[in-house]
A and B are shown apart, each in its own frame.
Chain A
């Protein structure tokens, strides 16, 4: 096995490095900057140039980061390694590992849908494909993002007409920026940001991603009337005292989980918008087919369903890999 599961993470012995490890190791190749994939405490981090500013923000000044260009192979001991766009968030990568003519690809998290805030997914042919399975059920199919953005704008305007602030919950890294980028095609009205999102949105701007103009809620003067505003906030702020300033806001959540009514109703959001930075069911199957992989290993999400489907319906060698990814749920 070119890559194997150890207690620290996915380990490539030939190259003596880990991919997205969860315990401190000397060398870590990082697919993207979400907390469940980029943890602190590694000796050296390898990641794409596009992703470095986000990693720096997450890991702090001390971390040893090495930037790598997409599609540029480099050697780690006996392995030839290269990073390829995964289309998940800014700077996200799949890790291609080649040893003695055998090729493995670790996808990290990925999606196939267009996203103007990051480089589009690239199909990398391989023998073994290590995939995510966050949304591996056939009900998960994403509507076109531009349609969802139109719905969001419509929702915002209707709330504004009713004198209500629109608080849209979405994950701070990736989802927020994608939403802002999509909305900027439809309007130029500024949006407010929860403080946790401000530095990340700035980093995206510096990377040249065009988004709606934004202001920090914390910098709005006391007594600001938010009743016609759109506010983006991380889901954890729902129900917190921070929300009080918006009086009686309409709340929405942008996530792939919103495909199911019960999820939205349980969390008590008024409105769910189906937007995900993960592959939906058709994309998972299409990607697996396009890589030409004969063996597929699934790391997190509905690995049980995906593995069984690949084995029984498509006749592929497939197995689950028990990793702790997906805990942050940036779906």
Chain B
């Protein structure tokens, strides 16, 4: 555990990727495989399913320190990270660590994973005891595991780099072996670094190839339009649909196995031949176009959806790539060959598995025109894929670009602010904005990015000096600051006060030139509805 806490610290203490990779390599070289497996688990962002409700953790810290609850909340609002807050609050309330440390796998397997089954009083006794065993940084890492919010500040790619450095294996091989289902144990870790080919697990997806945003005019960057395949950029859930060994598996890009949530897709996949992997987008669909994202959202968390939900928010799989055919990995074949094979495969299947249409055009100008129609068709713009390119791993720039529509914008007034988390803790960086509805400002969006550091600092000072009321960590502020917000889409939403939900709102710029009276009205915002 201490070795892992030291690794966490080393990763936290540098911004240089080379040093982060070196720290991970050093750890993996010396850690026993049963510990290293868990380290990989946490480093790539997997978590232990919630072991203890955070309300319980808070209460135990109150019990251990005797401090009033409001003081803990004030402190949390300042620190911005619950695991860290609790670790720090316990300092010097406890005797210095006394017990020689247990290894990481012992902590996870013998101690943490059994917590869920224990009665609350016993959970409290054990966790309080562990806090006393560990120094501050170890306690912090323990709390991170307990709260399940384990962000280490390394990307999956960096972990892959380190594992590739330690093993001498190709990064793509490591990336692939890290996909899908695996049990973090010694056998897994040995297999991960084993030069011999691994027996494939039928459920294992391929690493996704991710597109980069295109922030230039394509003719300046991408050469001739005829070298590119264009298609709509769908706004759904990226997914991989596997049909292997008589079963099918649907993986999201976040590597969730979405079993039981989209029965219509699983059913349709049954009709595919064995040994096939499709890459595509899960969309809620009505007629000839996607339903608003909100409809898809209703489906995401729902196991075994009701007949009514299936009728109201039916989903389809809009396939755009074929990664495996007849049990063979075909990712290295040129794009057009994969597309052709995909077309053949989907010919004659029903409407649930569809082929994402290709948009051919002779010139960028023509494609730009098509792109202008994207919003009306319920898409976010265009995807551009280089003909002849293989299906790569991760987000290397060059072959896949997302050429999104310019966002919609409104001018809105800041109403509330609250402190951010992590790096932005104890700065007011999370804002709520409103627009006019008659004489009143109604909240219409929350946003937390888009300002530069100097602006954030300045706004933070302004917020502190212009607070009207405080509700816990949230402050309402004098209605005086106007911001231009950008967003990708807008839909009706009965859940929001304004009756509207914006998709991916963020701050475009601070409109110091506008008085609050010049901000948009709800009516003006509604006019943007599709």
- A binding-site residues for B, Cβ under 8 Å: 137-139, 141, 259-263, 265-266, 268, 270-271, 282, 302, 304-305, 308-309, 312-313
Contact = CB atoms under 8 A, between A and B. Distances in A.
Contacts of A309: 68, 71
Among A137, A139, A266, A282, the most chain B Cβ lie within 10 Å of the Cβ of A139
Given A138-B65, A139-B78, A263-B426, 15 more contacts: A137-B71, A138-B89, A139-B79, A139-B89, A260-B88, A261-B81, A262-B79, A262-B422, A262-B425, A265-B422, A270-B13, A282-B92, A305-B71, A305-B74, A309-B71
A141 B91 contact: yes
B471 interface: no
A173 to B, nearest CB: 23
B75 interface: yes
B80 interface: yes
Interface of B: 12-15, 65, 67-68, 70-71, 74-75, 78-81, 84-85, 88-89, 91-92, 421-427
A223 to B, nearest CB: 25
Nearest to B84: A261
Contacts, number: 62
A137 B14 contact: no
A270 B92 contact: no
25 contacts: A137-B74, A138-B67, A138-B71, A138-B89, A141-B92, A260-B79, A260-B84, A260-B88, A261-B84, A262-B79, A262-B81, A262-B424, A262-B425, A262-B426, A265-B422, A266-B423, A266-B424, A270-B13, A282-B92, A304-B74, A305-B71, A308-B70, A309-B68, A309-B71, A312-B68
Contact of A260 (B13, B67, B68, B78): B78
A282 B67 CA distance: 13
A139 B14 contact: no
A299 B422 CA distance: 28
Given A139-B88, A260-B79, A265 B71 contact: no
Interface SS of A by simple majority: helix
Contacts of A138: 65, 67, 71, 75, 89
Contacts of B15: 268, 270
A262 B89 contact: no
A312 B75 CA distance: 17
A260 B75 contact: no
B427 A266 contact: yes
Nearest to B67: A138
Nearest to B470: A304
Given A139-B75, A271-B13, A262 B65 contact: no
Contacts of A302: 74
Contacts of A308: 70
Among A137, A261, A265, A308, the most chain B Cβ lie within 10 Å of the Cβ of A261
A271 B68 CA distance: 32
Nearest to A139: B88
Contacts of B80: 262
B459 to A, nearest CB: 15
Nearest to A308: B70
B135 to A, nearest CB: 11
Contacts of B68: 309, 312-313
A265 B426 CA distance: 12
Among A141, A271, A302, the most chain B Cβ lie within 10 Å of the Cβ of A141
B78 A137 contact: yes
A216 B410 CA distance: 54
B8 to A, nearest CB: 11
Nearest to A257: B426
Nearest 6 CB-CB pairings of A with B: A262-B425, A139-B88, A265-B423, A266-B423, A137-B75, A262-B423
A313 B70 CA distance: 11
Contacts of A259: 88
B413 to A, nearest CB: 26
A77 to B, nearest CB: 36
A282 B425 CA distance: 23
A265 B91 contact: no
Contacts of A282: 92
